[in-house]
Amino acid sequence: MSTRQTLKQKELDLWQDYMGGDKKVLPKLITSLDPVIQFNVNKYTGVPLPRTALESEARKLTVNALNTYNPNKGAALNTHITNHLKHLQRYVLQYQNVGKIPEHRGIAISRYQNIKDNLEQELNRPPTTLELSDSLSWSPAEVERMETELRQDLSVGVGREDTSSFFDSSFHTTDKTKEILHFIYYSPTTDSNTRKIMEYRFGFGGMPILSTVEIAQKLRLSESQVREIGSKIAEEVSKHERYF
């Protein structure tokens, strides 16, 4: 059996495990199929869309293909996936001229607080509205609106952990945000710590949902490390949300 045939059989075995209910094999299967994904994404090099957005859509189409594949119909798994990836063209045509979409509030809050904290450390003073505006690529009016919203939250007793954290309960309530989180989780580029944190925060893989403190203790990380990884996830969601 050739190397290529061995790889195809491995992917088919992983697919069978996945369809049998073992969702943990999906990252490994997506990694194995990444050459097919990248080949199709490369067809759209030069279009005014971030490559990460194209890769996310391609992985979404790949998972849809995995869920609908029927080996009894005669087509090879890779052929079925390639046919599904043709729908990337529709995605590109729909979104290549799209304007900026407002960020989900939970993501925007997290991003605002992270950049504000970083600027405050660099400048040794609170940043001005214009400095925040430049760093966030928001208008000064948007920055002022965010500051007003946060003051209102604090006035009714909402603490910093509730408003600025990636783990704000409002962050992952929409179907679109949940979908993006799943694609980040299953992405071959997501490291093990990030995946573990997502498991214990969102219940991926059937894991119990834990608090930031409990996750830190479970993974033997500091609370600040958990929050930092959470902020990076929030940035990824923010980046993808504009194109889903």
* pLDDT on residue 217: 92
* pLDDT (mean) for 14-19: 90
Q: For residue 88, is pLDDT > 70?
A: yes
Can you tell me the distance from the alpha carbon of 179 to that of 185, in angstroms, rounded to the nearest whole number?
10
Is 175:104 a contact under the CB 8 Å cutoff? no
Q: Which stretch, 22-36, 144-158, 163-177, has highest mean pLDDT?
A: 22-36
* pLDDT on residue 158: 37
Q: Which stretch, 107-111, 113-117, 227-231, has highest mean pLDDT?
A: 227-231
Q: Which stretch, 92-101, 121-130, 159-168, has highest mean pLDDT?
A: 121-130
Sorted by sequence, the CB contacts under 8 Å of residue 100 that are 6+ apart come out as 242
SS (H, E, C) the chain: CCHHHHHHHHHHHHHHHHHCCCHHHHHHHHHHCHHHHHHHHHHHCCCCCCHHHHHHHHHHHHHHHHHHCCHHHCCCHHHHHHHHHCCHHHHHHHHCCCCCCCCCHHHHHHHHHHHHHHHHHHHCCCCCHHHHHHHHCCCHHHHHHHHHHHHHHHHCCCCHHHHCCCCCCCCCCCHHHHHHHHHHHHCCCCCHHHHHHHHHHHCHHHCCCCCHHHHHHHHCCCHHHHHHHHHHHHHHHHHHHCCC
Percent over 70 (pLDDT), the chain? 76
- Between 21-35, 136-150, 200-214, the lowest mean confidence (pLDDT) is in 136-150
Domain at 105-163: CATH code: 1.10.10
Q: For residue 107, is pLDDT > 80?
A: no
Can you tell me the distance from the alpha carbon of 50 to that of 25, in angstroms, rounded to the nearest whole number?
27
Distances in whole angstroms, Cα of residue 126 to Cα of each of 79, 93, 95, 201 = 56, 43, 38, 31
Closest CA to 80 of 91, 88, 90, 68: 68
Q: Does domain 175-241 have CATH number 1.10.3720.10?
A: no
